[in-house]
Structure formats: C-alpha cells, structure tokens
A and B are shown apart, each in its own frame.
Chain A
Amino acid sequence: MKRIFFSLSVSVVILLTVLAGCSDTRSKRAVYVLVDTSGTYSQQFDKVQGVMRYMLGTLLPGESLALARIDSGSFSEQDIVARMTFDLRPSMANAQKRAFLESIDSFGSSITPSKYTDITGGILQAIEYLNETRATDKYILIFSDLKEEIKQGQVRDFPINFNGTRVVAINVTKLNSDNVDPREYQARLEDWSVRVEQGNGSWKLINDLNRLDSIWE
C-alpha cells in the first residue's frame, strides 16, 4: 500500500516537474517599438500610448516588448526606455505589464524633442535586441515620419540584415513639404520598404490605428 501511495505521489511530482521544464515555446513574439522624438513627431505620443496598451494586452507570458526612442544618436542602450520579457507565470506577467505601463506614462511626460532623427541607429539597436530574445516572430514598430536626419559624420548609409524581422511603420505622418510634393512622402516609404526587404525583412505600413491586429498578419 505504501508503494501505491509513494508511486502516485512520485508520478504527480515528476509530471509537474517535467511539464514545468518543458519551456519549448512554439511561437514566441518579440516587439521593439521605436518612437521618434524629433520636433516634428513628438506630439504624437498619445497614439504611441494607445498602441503600447494594445501590445501589452496582446502579448503573452514569455514574449518580449521594448520601447525605445529615436533621437540624434539612437544606436545606444540608453535610448531604450523599457524592455521586458514577460514571465511565464500569468500573475507575474500581469505585474510586469503594469510596471511597463507606468514606464510608458512617465516617458510620455518627459519627452524632450531631439534635434536629429537617427532611424537607422534605432533599427540597428532594435535588431540587436530582437536577436537576443530568440523570438520566432520579431517585430519593429516605428512611430515616425520616416524622414531621417543624422548628425554630420554619422554613417548610416549601409545595408542592414533584418534577419526575418517584420518592420511595421505606424502612423507615418506627412510633413509640410509632403503636402507640397506628395511624391516625397511616397519616396520615403518606398526607400524604407526597399531597404527593409533587401535586408531580408518584411515591410508594412499601418496608418489606421483601428487596424492594429493587422500587425500580426
């Protein structure tokens, strides 16, 4: 009888241990959100907050989220506002999401417009982070007008290896000059699209914030 009792207890413990160690996540997402803080775009942060809330509500335990700013020199760890890989336990993941939300709000209230817009540097930083997460589905969400303005001396004109990352440009605003010549806007989008796709990535543009679920498609 003792044997039955013992074997039952042991089997329960073993199975739970094995399952707990079974951390083979089938599809794991990692999202890196780049926010343009240059003068022309810094007023759009409420939209960023909306998208970030959507992200926090959608991402599952074990998945990663990061928020970084695009400023004069974005290829820097210091530009990452918050980054988190959510815990596998739902309760802990929920607590992390609350903390992340607080970071977003505090970042929103302390944005200082930057002089330049180093989008390429931000993307490079994002790719580095995303590769580290070992996620199966990697996303870079860019909130920007996509007009890159870099400091003199910075080298950004080189091909980037996106390594299968999906780049989604959200709420790409039109500049005054775009209104004069809309081809400039289209050319900017086209340039980025070509650059991403040539670097083994995929490109998508979402200007309607009510269609955020199409990010995952």
Chain B
Amino acid sequence: MRRKVFYWSAWILVLFCLLLTVMLFSFCAGPVDMPLKKILKVIFEGRGTSEYSILFDIRLPRIILGFAIGGALSLAGVILQGMFRNPLVEPYTLGISGGAAVGVCLNIVLGLSRGLGIISLPICGFLGAILVILLVYSLSIRKGILKIQGLLLTGVMISFISSSLIMLIMSVSHTEDLHGIVFWVMGSLEEPNWLLIKLALGIAVFGLAVSYLFCFDLNAFSLGEEEALHLGINVERTKRLLFIVASLLTGFSVSVAGIIGFVGLVVPHFIRMFVGPDHRILLISSFLCGAIFLIFCDTLARIIIAPLELPVGVITGILGGSLFIYALSKKQVSLGGK
C-alpha cells in the first residue's frame, strides 16, 4: 500500500511538471516569439504594452481553456469507459459531442445567444449532450440489460445523424451565422469571453471532484454491473449520476471549444497502459494528461503555419491517433471488458 501511494504521488508529480513545462512552452511560443527573459521583462513593465496583451489576453486564456477542456474531455472518456467497460466508448463515439454540437448550432442559427446572452450556448450544448445520452442509453437497454454493442453502434449512428443535421443547419443558415458554425465545428480554443473560460475551468474541476467521490464505484464497475451490485454499489443511481457528470463535462467542452475529437479516447488509454485500471489514479492522471495533450496540440496548431492557425482538432486527431497506434504496436494493452 505504501509503495502504491508513493508510486502514485511520484506519477502525479511528474504529470504536474510536464503540465507546467507545456504551459510555459505555450506561453512562450507563437507568431511573436517570447523567450523567458522577455516575458519577465514584459510582466515587470506591466499593462499597456502590446506584448503584455498578447501574453495575458491571448495566450493565457487559451492555456487555461486548454487545461479545462482537455481535462474535462479525457475525464469524461475515463468515466464512460469505466462505466461501460469498453475501451472504445468516449464522448465522441457515443454521439454526445454530436448532440452538443447540434444544440449549439441551433442556438447560433435561431439567434438565442443574442437574446439570452452568451451563457445560453453552453446550456444548449449541455441539453443536446444529455438528450443524446438518454437516447443512446434507452435505445441500448433490452430486458433491463445494457447492450454494449448496441450502445456503440447507436452512438456512432447518432454521431452521423448529428453531423448531417449540422450540415442541414449550415445549409439553411445566414452567411454571418455560417462563419460562426464552421469555425466552431472545427474546434478551437480561441474564446474571448473570460466568463466562459472561468466556467469551463470550474466545471472541469467540479467534474474531477465529483468523479473522485465515485472512484471505488468505478473500480467495482470494472467487474461488471452485477458484481458491482454485489459489492454494495447502488448501480442505477451511480450510473445516472456519472452519466450526468460525463454529459455536463462533454456538453460544456463542446459548446465552448467546438468538436475536438480523440482526447477522450486516446488519453485514458494511454494512461491506463502506465498506471493500470485503478480509478483512484486513473481519474487524476487522465485529467492532467488530457490537459497537457490539448495545450500542446493547441500550441502546435498556433505555430505550425504561423501566422495562420490550424484547427486544433486536426492536430489532436493526427498526433493522438498515430501515437496511439504506435503504443498499441509496442505494448500489449489490456483492453478491459470482454
């Protein structure tokens, strides 16, 4: 036990150091290169310079948002994979991202955000996400038993349907709305609204805290639902609660940053290879690693073809996918479930 605690603390410390490094890298790198020395100088000079506003109004919000969204998405991935005992389940494959996307698109087209304020965007995203989750869930329950195969297929189909719906919405929308939707569907961490960034951060951390209340429940779930019940877990209630947490995390992330795939699938897998299936360490390390991964990808997206910018989803897909295939071929992964 002692050894385990030591090992886990060391692991978390390493991830924290990595996170700081990546954050610093992201802070320095960009179209306007800022070595560390210069940054210190800029900070000392205080407000007013253009460098200052690049650092604190452009780069810092992106770093914080990357931390929140990356963490939230991979946390949602861990929770869903743990609950369904299936390594392919993630917000994206379950169609949750798609549902959230449709919600946000509808919001933009119907002009709700103009009437109700910017806060209605994440609310619509969340509603879309939870609607899809309920739909997928109720469609894959047969005779009181949750069918994983059916669940995945339904999720993928709902993903398709929602991307078609998004196209439909795009084709009937005005030009000015269209730009917003396209930008948003491709996924981006550029978000000028500090309130949304703070909210995203708050929800991510809140999700992490809540999921930790259920870390043993998730461990019990890894044996299957009936076994979890034998271990005294209130299975239905826990499932419902974790569902809500996962949709809140995904719905909010998607509604702020658009569709960023792969983070929720790849990161938890990667972490599982290193730390094993215990959710006590899996939750926090996935969160941190997701944050590291997304901040890193976003920085790449900013600097690769600077001053232009790539959609961050492109980088997460290419980098995450290839890293994952490489890791799979290197090491036999225990995929969990059956």
Answer yes or no: do A and B interact.
Answer: no
- Interface, chain B (partner A; CB < 8 A): none
Binding site for B on A (CB under 8 A): none
